[in-house]
Amino acid sequence: DVKVTQSSRYLVKRTGEKVFLECVQDMDHENMFWYRQDPGLGLRLIYFSYDVKMKEKGDIPEGYSVSREKKERFSLILESASTNQTSMYLCASSSTSGTGLNEQFFGPGTRLTVL
Amino acid sequence: AQSVSQHNHHVILSEAASLELGCNYSYGGTVNLFWYVQYPGQHLQLLLKYFSGDPLVKGIKGFEAEFIKSKFSFNLRKPSVQWSDTAEYFCAVNSLNTGNQFYFGTGTSLTVIP
Protein backbone atom coordinates (compact mmCIF):
# COMPACT_ATOMS: atom_id res chain seq x y z
CA ASP A 1 0.00 0.00 0.00
CA VAL A 2 1.40 3.35 -1.04
CA LYS A 3 2.19 5.77 1.70
CA VAL A 4 2.91 9.42 2.19
CA THR A 5 3.58 10.26 5.79
CA GLN A 6 3.93 13.59 7.49
CA SER A 7 5.85 14.09 10.69
CA SER A 8 3.06 15.66 12.73
CA ARG A 9 -0.73 15.77 12.57
CA TYR A 10 -0.98 18.82 14.83
CA LEU A 11 1.58 21.47 15.63
CA VAL A 12 1.39 24.63 17.71
CA LYS A 13 4.17 27.19 17.36
CA ARG A 14 4.80 30.75 18.42
CA THR A 15 5.27 33.71 16.11
CA GLY A 16 8.87 33.99 14.95
CA GLU A 17 9.75 30.36 15.50
CA LYS A 18 11.38 28.31 12.77
CA VAL A 19 9.14 25.40 11.84
CA PHE A 20 10.05 22.21 10.03
CA LEU A 21 7.42 19.99 8.40
CA GLU A 22 8.66 16.66 7.13
CA CYS A 23 7.17 14.45 4.44
CA VAL A 24 8.27 10.98 3.41
CA GLN A 25 6.98 8.83 0.55
CA ASP A 26 7.75 5.18 -0.09
CA MET A 27 6.74 4.98 -3.76
CA ASP A 28 10.00 6.12 -5.35
CA HIS A 29 8.17 9.10 -6.90
CA GLU A 30 10.19 11.76 -8.62
CA ASN A 31 7.78 14.58 -7.85
CA MET A 32 6.83 15.93 -4.46
CA PHE A 33 4.64 18.87 -3.49
CA TRP A 34 3.70 21.04 -0.56
CA TYR A 35 0.28 22.69 -0.43
CA ARG A 36 -1.64 24.63 2.11
CA GLN A 37 -5.37 24.12 2.39
CA ASP A 38 -7.62 26.89 3.67
CA PRO A 39 -11.42 26.99 3.72
CA GLY A 40 -12.83 28.48 0.53
CA LEU A 41 -9.41 28.67 -1.12
CA GLY A 42 -8.85 25.03 -1.95
CA LEU A 43 -5.28 23.78 -2.30
CA ARG A 44 -2.58 26.29 -3.03
CA LEU A 45 0.84 25.14 -4.13
CA ILE A 46 3.75 26.40 -2.06
CA TYR A 47 6.70 24.55 -3.56
CA PHE A 48 7.33 21.43 -5.56
CA SER A 49 10.32 19.32 -6.48
CA TYR A 50 10.80 17.10 -9.50
CA ASP A 51 14.13 15.62 -8.45
CA VAL A 52 16.55 15.45 -5.57
CA LYS A 53 17.98 18.89 -4.76
CA MET A 54 15.62 20.49 -7.29
CA LYS A 55 12.86 22.84 -6.22
CA GLU A 56 10.40 25.12 -7.92
CA LYS A 57 8.24 27.87 -6.47
CA GLY A 58 4.53 27.38 -6.57
CA ASP A 59 1.87 30.03 -6.28
CA ILE A 60 2.53 31.15 -2.69
CA PRO A 61 6.21 30.57 -1.78
CA GLU A 62 6.69 33.71 0.30
CA GLY A 63 7.70 32.92 3.86
CA TYR A 64 8.55 29.30 3.05
CA SER A 65 11.52 27.31 1.88
CA VAL A 66 12.02 23.63 1.10
CA SER A 67 14.69 20.99 1.11
CA ARG A 68 14.97 17.75 -0.81
CA GLU A 69 18.21 15.97 0.01
CA LYS A 70 16.85 12.48 -0.61
CA LYS A 71 14.32 11.27 -3.14
CA GLU A 72 11.86 10.07 -0.54
CA ARG A 73 11.92 13.12 1.73
CA PHE A 74 10.66 16.66 1.14
CA SER A 75 10.78 19.20 3.95
CA LEU A 76 8.90 22.47 4.25
CA ILE A 77 10.47 25.17 6.37
CA LEU A 78 8.78 28.24 7.78
CA GLU A 79 11.73 30.52 8.44
CA SER A 80 9.88 32.75 10.89
CA ALA A 81 6.34 31.60 11.54
CA SER A 82 3.57 34.16 11.42
CA THR A 83 -0.08 33.93 12.39
CA ASN A 84 -1.18 34.08 8.74
CA GLN A 85 0.62 30.78 8.21
CA THR A 86 -1.87 29.01 10.44
CA SER A 87 -3.27 26.42 8.07
CA MET A 88 -3.48 22.77 7.05
CA TYR A 89 -0.33 21.71 5.20
CA LEU A 90 -0.54 18.83 2.76
CA CYS A 91 2.30 16.91 1.20
CA ALA A 92 1.85 14.90 -1.99
CA SER A 93 3.91 12.87 -4.39
CA SER A 94 3.44 11.60 -7.93
CA SER A 95 5.28 9.86 -10.70
CA THR A 96 5.67 11.17 -14.23
CA SER A 97 3.69 9.98 -17.25
CA GLY A 98 4.14 10.59 -20.95
CA THR A 99 1.55 13.36 -20.92
CA GLY A 100 2.46 15.03 -17.65
CA LEU A 101 2.05 13.74 -14.13
CA ASN A 102 0.24 10.73 -12.77
CA GLU A 103 -2.15 11.12 -9.87
CA GLN A 104 -0.91 12.54 -6.62
CA PHE A 105 -0.89 10.63 -3.37
CA PHE A 106 -1.47 12.78 -0.33
CA GLY A 107 -0.34 12.60 3.23
CA PRO A 108 -2.75 13.06 6.14
CA GLY A 109 -1.84 16.71 6.59
CA THR A 110 -0.33 18.78 9.38
CA ARG A 111 -2.59 21.30 11.05
CA LEU A 112 -0.30 24.12 12.11
CA THR A 113 -1.40 26.81 14.51
CA VAL A 114 0.84 29.83 14.98
CA LEU A 115 0.11 31.84 18.12
CA ALA B 1 -5.04 33.48 -16.35
CA GLN B 2 -5.09 29.73 -16.55
CA SER B 3 -7.38 28.24 -13.96
CA VAL B 4 -9.61 25.44 -12.79
CA SER B 5 -13.14 26.48 -11.85
CA GLN B 6 -15.60 24.67 -9.68
CA HIS B 7 -18.74 26.73 -9.77
CA ASN B 8 -20.63 24.88 -7.04
CA HIS B 9 -19.10 25.82 -3.72
CA HIS B 10 -21.59 24.08 -1.48
CA VAL B 11 -24.18 21.52 -2.53
CA ILE B 12 -26.84 19.99 -0.30
CA LEU B 13 -28.73 16.92 -1.49
CA SER B 14 -31.04 14.33 -0.04
CA GLU B 15 -30.06 10.70 -0.20
CA ALA B 16 -30.83 9.03 -3.55
CA ALA B 17 -30.69 12.34 -5.40
CA SER B 18 -28.44 12.59 -8.46
CA LEU B 19 -25.25 14.59 -8.30
CA GLU B 20 -23.38 16.61 -10.86
CA LEU B 21 -20.44 18.81 -9.90
CA GLY B 22 -19.00 21.11 -12.51
CA CYS B 23 -15.33 21.54 -13.36
CA ASN B 24 -13.96 23.76 -16.11
CA TYR B 25 -10.35 24.43 -16.94
CA SER B 26 -8.61 26.87 -19.21
CA TYR B 27 -5.48 24.99 -20.25
CA GLY B 28 -4.89 24.15 -23.88
CA GLY B 29 -3.35 21.05 -25.32
CA THR B 30 -3.37 17.59 -23.85
CA VAL B 31 -4.56 17.52 -20.26
CA ASN B 32 -4.70 14.97 -17.48
CA LEU B 33 -7.80 15.42 -15.35
CA PHE B 34 -8.55 14.24 -11.84
CA TRP B 35 -11.23 14.30 -9.20
CA TYR B 36 -10.18 13.93 -5.59
CA VAL B 37 -12.36 13.51 -2.53
CA GLN B 38 -11.69 14.45 1.07
CA TYR B 39 -13.99 12.83 3.62
CA PRO B 40 -14.28 14.57 6.98
CA GLY B 41 -11.08 14.12 8.94
CA GLN B 42 -9.40 12.09 6.21
CA HIS B 43 -6.75 12.81 3.64
CA LEU B 44 -7.36 13.53 -0.03
CA GLN B 45 -7.80 10.48 -2.17
CA LEU B 46 -8.29 9.89 -5.87
CA LEU B 47 -11.84 9.32 -7.10
CA LEU B 48 -11.07 8.99 -10.79
CA LYS B 49 -8.78 10.24 -13.53
CA TYR B 50 -8.76 10.83 -17.26
CA PHE B 51 -5.63 10.69 -19.40
CA SER B 52 -6.90 9.60 -22.82
CA GLY B 53 -9.36 7.29 -24.54
CA ASP B 54 -13.02 6.95 -23.60
CA PRO B 55 -14.09 10.39 -22.33
CA LEU B 56 -16.49 8.79 -19.85
CA VAL B 57 -14.46 7.46 -16.95
CA LYS B 58 -15.65 5.48 -13.99
CA GLY B 59 -14.15 5.76 -10.58
CA ILE B 60 -14.61 4.36 -7.12
CA LYS B 61 -17.88 4.32 -5.17
CA GLY B 62 -20.11 4.69 -8.23
CA PHE B 63 -18.72 8.02 -9.39
CA GLU B 64 -18.10 8.84 -13.02
CA ALA B 65 -16.93 11.87 -14.97
CA GLU B 66 -17.18 12.98 -18.56
CA PHE B 67 -14.43 14.83 -20.39
CA ILE B 68 -15.85 17.23 -22.99
CA LYS B 69 -12.89 18.72 -24.77
CA SER B 70 -14.88 21.35 -26.67
CA LYS B 71 -16.26 22.71 -23.39
CA PHE B 72 -13.03 22.34 -21.40
CA SER B 73 -15.08 20.49 -18.84
CA PHE B 74 -14.74 17.41 -16.65
CA ASN B 75 -17.94 17.16 -14.63
CA LEU B 76 -18.36 14.62 -11.86
CA ARG B 77 -21.59 12.63 -11.60
CA LYS B 78 -23.23 10.05 -9.42
CA PRO B 79 -26.75 8.76 -10.11
CA SER B 80 -27.75 8.28 -6.46
CA VAL B 81 -25.83 9.79 -3.57
CA GLN B 82 -25.55 8.34 -0.09
CA TRP B 83 -25.01 9.98 3.27
CA SER B 84 -21.46 8.61 3.20
CA ASP B 85 -20.70 10.76 0.13
CA THR B 86 -20.67 13.84 2.35
CA ALA B 87 -17.21 15.24 1.65
CA GLU B 88 -15.27 17.91 -0.17
CA TYR B 89 -14.55 17.31 -3.84
CA PHE B 90 -11.67 18.79 -5.79
CA CYS B 91 -11.05 18.87 -9.51
CA ALA B 92 -7.42 19.03 -10.67
CA VAL B 93 -5.62 19.44 -13.98
CA ASN B 94 -2.13 18.68 -15.12
CA SER B 95 -0.56 18.86 -18.55
CA LEU B 96 2.80 19.24 -20.21
CA ASN B 97 1.84 22.89 -20.71
CA THR B 98 1.60 23.40 -16.95
CA GLY B 99 4.93 21.80 -16.23
CA ASN B 100 5.28 19.63 -13.18
CA GLN B 101 2.33 21.18 -11.42
CA PHE B 102 -1.25 20.33 -10.68
CA TYR B 103 -3.86 23.05 -10.62
CA PHE B 104 -6.78 22.53 -8.28
CA GLY B 105 -10.21 24.03 -8.16
CA THR B 106 -11.36 25.62 -4.91
CA GLY B 107 -13.44 22.59 -4.06
CA THR B 108 -17.13 21.75 -3.64
CA SER B 109 -18.48 20.82 -0.27
CA LEU B 110 -21.23 18.20 -0.59
CA THR B 111 -23.64 17.54 2.24
CA VAL B 112 -26.01 14.60 1.86
CA ILE B 113 -29.01 14.61 4.15
CA PRO B 114 -30.29 11.17 5.24
How does pLDDT run across A31-43, given as a tens digit for each residue? 999 999 998 888 9
User: If you measure CA to CA, which chain B residue comes closest to A38?
Assistant: B106
In this prediction, residue B112 carries a pLDDT of 97
Looking at domain B4-113, which CATH architecture does it have?
Answer: Sandwich (2.60)
pLDDT band at A101 (very low <50, low <70, confident <90, very high): confident
CB contact under 8 A, B100 and A101: yes
**Half-sphere exposure of residue B72: CA atoms within 13 angstroms, side-chain side:** 12
**What's the mean pLDDT when you consider all of chain A?**
93
pLDDT at A98: 75
- Write the pLDDT tens digit of every residue in A52-80: 989 999 999 999 999 999 999 999 999 99
Mean per-residue pLDDT for A85-109? Answer: 91
Assess contact for A4 and A93: CB atoms under 8 A.
yes
Substitution target from B5, B9, B101 for chain A, most A beta carbons within 10 A: B101
Nearest of A89, A68, A88, A87 to residue A24 by alpha carbon: A68
- pLDDT, one tens digit per residue, over B25-58 is 987 778 899 999 999 989 999 999 999 899 999 9
Instruction: Please give the Cα distance from A87 to A72 (Å, whole number).
Output: 24
Q: Is A99–B43 a contact, with Cβ atoms under 8 angstroms apart?
A: no
Domain ranges of chain B: 4-113
Is A106's CB within 8 Å of B52's CB? no
Which residues of chain B lie closer than 8 angstroms to A96, CB-CB? 100
pLDDT digits (tens, 9 = 90+) for A7-37: 999 999 999 999 999 999 999 999 999 999 9
Where helices occur in B11-104 by DSSP H, the ranges are: none
Sign of the four-CA dihedral A79, A85, A90, A92: negative
Greater confidence (B96 vs B73) lies with B73
Is A88's pLDDT higher than 90?
Answer: yes
Give residue-wise pLDDT tens across range B73-91. 999 999 999 999 999 999 9
| CB atoms A45 and B94 under 8 Å | no
- Domains in chain A, CATH or no CATH each: 4-114 (2.60.40.10)
Indicate yes or no: CB of A99 within 8 angstroms of CB of B52: yes
